[in-house]
A and B are shown apart, each in its own frame.
Chain A
Amino acid sequence: MKLSQALKMAMMSLKGNKMRSFLTMLGIIIGVLAVTLLISVVQGATGEITGQVESLGSNLVFAQITSPKTVYITVDDVMKLEGMGGIDIVTASKSGSSTVKAGTENKSATVEGVTAQYNQVMNLDLLYGRFLAPLDVEAKTNNAVIGYKVAKDLYGTTKCLGNSVNIKGRDFTVIGVLDEGDSMISSTDSTVYIPLLTYQRLFNDKELGAIYVSAENADAVDTAETTLDEYLLKELGDEDYFTVINQSAILDAMDQILGVMTTLLAGIAAISLLVGGIGIMNIMLVSVSERTREIGIRKAIGAQKSDIMIQFLIESVVLSVAGGLIGILLGLIGLQIFEQIMDINLVLTWSTTALALGFSAGVGIVFGIGPANKAANLKPIDALRYE
């Protein structure tokens, strides 16, 4: 018998039982949908986050300071790091959250005191105006650079240079508005940047929250890290009071987390495909015993064992591959929706598609072979007598 004939026969019997065929496929559809969505979303998120971390610049090293209130470093001390072993630019910041007001509008925002070099290190995009200058910090001016969302919420527009914003009872002048950020790891949109010394006075807080240094070049990152580390140890006196992190360490950590997540999700997806496969096997077994007489008739008029085998195997593979295709189709639609909601760029890669299809075809074969074999091995006379 030719394969095209076998395919025709399989399609006919699947069509003869549309509802059952669909329900059987549903297991595979859901499994493949899960695979495509999960893998694509994880891949998309990975790309997004990695991109953001990389956009910080590969030369970035930063230290988070967690020392008790009694031990602290001053900005002036920190700035001395500039030019020391491997370090190019240094900036420091301290942030807290506070309500910011303009007229009758008020909004809770992150207020971050920074030095003028902050912008150089973090590469913020300005929509209007300018960033805080060294003079702003030294003179403890009441100038502020506000995030995109802060501007929108307080003034209804981003064209709000020169307006005043009230933080903790003090009026600040808006000298710069930041462009909308797409970062998921640090949101600049709801942040108000003010000069560090102004911040320290306003919040009565002499500590520094974080120190950012950019290394002279990519090769100097390690040296810069050591310099920063030794400096902080000397100043703070305890290595528990600070943590020095560089960008590649973040990337490594993130890779690790995402790797675990991918494996986990792939595992869940594989299990759901397995369940789908068992569904197919179950239905094929039912189908074989329902059609015992049909098998007997086919054998009586000359069907070979292989003909019966192929017929049933094709039925299960058609079920699983069709389920796979529908799953991928739904996955594509799902990704569109996710893209809208999560505002990230998601693509279904060919390798994911091939993986999902290959897996579902494999499921069809693996779980179809048992029932097909059972059908093929029926003795013609027993099958014919079956009621």
Chain B
Amino acid sequence: MAHASATEAHAHEHATQEHHGPQGILKYLWSTDHKVIAMQYLFTGMFMAMVGGFMAYVFRMQLAFPGKSVPLFGYVSPGEYNALITGHGSIMIFWVAMPVLIAAFGNYLIPLMIGADDMVFPRINRLSYQIFLLSVLVILSSLFVKGGGFGGAWTSYPPLSANADYNLTPLGSSMWLVAVALEFVAFLLGGINFITTLMNARAPGMKAYDIPMVPWMIVIASILFMLSVGPLFAGAIMLFFDQNLGTGFFDPTRGGDPVLWQHLFWFFGHPEVYVVLLPAVGIVIDIVATFARKKLFGYKTLLYTAVATGVLSFFVWAHHQFIAGIDPRMANIFTVTTLLISVPIAEMCFVIIATLYGGDIRLKVPMLWALAFVGEFLIGGVTGIFLGASGADAYLHETYFVLAHFHYTFFPIAIIGTFAGFTYWFPKMFGRMMNETLGKIHFWGTIIPFNFIFIPLFVLGLDGQQRRIYNFQNFPELQHLQPVRILATISLVVMLFFQLFFFWNVIRSWRKGPKAEKNPWKSNTLEWTTESPPPHGNWPVDEMPKVYRGPYEYNHPDREEDYWPQNLPA
């Protein structure tokens, strides 16, 4: 009966689409359906991840085997090396972590998890992706313009970034700024949509504490993004004017201040860490509760912790500038706030561990990724304490220790978090189950080499080896650790190789994986109550879900089954 009405609704939808909606391939390019837009973000983000990964491969090869021709690329010139590290950093943060974790998962999951048929502003949503796509085209073409891509690092400090006489990339550096600014506009539009949708489009009966963690975390992240991006946007306009209109905002000889940019940049840059962290935490929490078959330990604690992290993250930015000539008294204050922020983060880890404790744990592929996230992120968090303390930072600043630290935070967030979410919601997104064996090969083939890339880099950093060096042969006193650099590079190549298993698994499962039922993981949240994949509008109009309880009621004593869907009447 329900099925018949669903097909009827479907037929009706097709009939009307012939008059209103676009046809064929345009249906996917010009759609306002949140699921289609999510897929656009997801695949664009994954493509950019391949670009960023290839860049990492090229410059790691140059570092391990300096002056040798890199297979698939050729000889790496100093300018190209700089453009590669800049491109890798910018792309992985702005064009991989943000679009996949916030835009793709946010667009796909927020309406489904709160029981809405779409975002509240579908057309603004479409515009958001189109602006994002434009930013992708600008950043990619900036690599090929005269003078080459911008090479002043993803932080783009002036005076190097402001003056073409220094950076030698007059076009590349401006295009980099334009691309970043466009990307911000895209996510601003997306963020407005997410927040408004969560506030105004929840299913009847869904109170604040009935919202699953993924929508909460993505919305808190969007709020952080929207509050932090303004000053950097102002800085980007000023830097663009310095580059192209001859102003002197960051030029000390003309009354400007180069450290001003660092303040504007890191006022955004540090909250940005939490902008991408929180969605990943949300994904991990949902997976952990589902596969531990246990009620989430401390729902409210986690929620308030996330808010506290967000608030604190606005008061830590100057820990990036301890040796940029800021007042040591100010450095002390920022050391305290920085160390303080590890408290809520540790609390999040404890919530996850307490949820696991005594659970009926099932080590499916998404769960493996979720557990790996906790373990690896912990290393990133702990090493951050060394850098947050201004005394230790004076020694470690600008060494490979910094680089290893933030890869131990960003890799778990952007890569492990994404794989966790992707493998968990793949059945919903594509209506097929993924292959567990291939998934496990891919998992171990990613996690083990990952540690072999970055633990060696901690060693290099503790040895005092500086970042941003094109050819270590020019520094004989840094040569004794060359084998460590080679180990890191080989591990990277191994890790990249194992990604083939992921693509193989995706294509194979998509084409002929076993059909996924509505709720393959026996989960509670609303997205599992509709078809896999969900139809346009997510549920038939007369079957929109109602909510009766919180999202994490697993193994409730009053029930026979070990799960209790949110939409099941009491």
Q: Does chain A bind chain B? A: no
Q: B: which residues have CB within 8 A of A?
A: none
